[in-house]
Amino acid sequence: MKMRIFMHVVAVWVALAGLGGQGAPPSREMGGKKSVTTFFVASRGPGRGGDLGGLTGADAHCQALATAEGSGDHTWRAYLSTVAMGNQPAMNARDRIGKGPWYNAEGTLVAANVDELHRDNTFAKELAVTEKLDPVNGVGDTPNMHDILTGSRPDGTSFASGEDLTCANWTSSGAGRAQVGHHDRRGQGAAASSWNSAHASRGCSQPDLVSTGGAGLIYCFAID
C-alpha cells in the first residue's frame, strides 16, 4: 500500500513537471485561481491587415490566443480605439481594458492601473511578450514587427471623427491607415518611443503594415 501511494505521488509530480517541459506558461490556471497572465502582445494577427473583424473580431482573437495558452479564464479585450462613424460612437482603447493591474505571461507587472499604463509604464521589448512568453521582433530583428495596431493617441483616446487612423474601425484591409505603437519603444521619429501612438501606417493591407515595420499585431488585456 505504501509503495502504491509513493508511486502515485511520483506520477503526479512527473505529470506536473511534464507540463512545464511542454512550454506551459507560468500563468496556467492552478489550484482554482485565475491565471496570472492578464496582458500580452498577440503572437499573430488575423493576416488581413487592418481588417480585424471590428472590435468584436479583435476581442475574439485575443480570447482565442489566451485560451490556447491556458488564460481563457479571463475576459480579454483588444487595446484598440475607434472613431465615430455613422451610428457608431467613438471608443477609447483605454476604456476597454478594465482597471488593472496587468501582468505578462512571466508574471511581471506591466502597469498597476490605466493611468500608470499611459503615464509611467515599464514597456520594453523584454516585457511586452506574447501569450506564449515569446519575444516579438523589434528594431534590429528581421523582420521588424514592432508596429502594434492601436488607432489611439498617447493617452489612449480616439482621434477626431474626421481623422480615421483605425482602418475604418478595423474593417479595412485596403483603404485607410492605422495608428501604431512600438512595443520595443525604439525607432525613428519624435514619437518612436511611444508604445501606443508612434506613427501612422502606410496603409491597411497586410503588405502595407509589413512595409512600415508591422505584422498586424495587437495588444490584449484582461478586464477581470
- Tell me: the pLDDT tens digits for 40-49? 999 999 999 9
pLDDT at 163: 83
Do 205 and 193 contact (CB within 8 A), yes or no?
no
Cell numbers at 190, concatenated: 519624435
Residue 84 maps to which CATH number? 3.10.100.10
Is 41 inside a domain boundary?
A: yes
Site of grid cell 518612436: 192
pLDDT at 32: 57
Is 12 inside a domain boundary?
A: no
pLDDT at 31: 47
Is 98 inside a domain boundary?
A: yes
Is 76 inside a domain boundary?
A: yes
Give the total number of structural domains in the chain: 1
Indicate the length of the chain as a whole number: 224
pLDDT at 121: 81
Is 79 inside a domain boundary?
A: yes
Give the domain range for residue 157: 36-222
pLDDT digits (tens, 9 = 90+) for 62-78: 999 999 999 999 999 99
pLDDT at 137: 98
Dihedral of alpha carbons 155, 111, 215, 143, sign = positive
Dihedral of alpha carbons 171, 173, 178, 183, sign = positive
Is 82 inside a domain boundary?
A: yes
Is 30 inside a domain boundary?
A: no
Is 19 inside a domain boundary?
A: no
224 residues of the chain, pLDDT tens digit each: 433 333 333 333 333 333 333 333 343 444 457 899 999 999 999 999 999 999 999 999 999 999 999 999 999 999 999 999 888 899 999 999 999 999 999 999 999 999 999 998 878 999 999 999 999 999 999 999 999 999 999 999 999 878 889 999 999 999 899 999 999 999 988 899 999 999 999 999 999 999 999 999 999 999 99
pLDDT at 122: 79
Question: Residue 90 and residue 112: Cα distance in Å, rounded?
Answer: 25
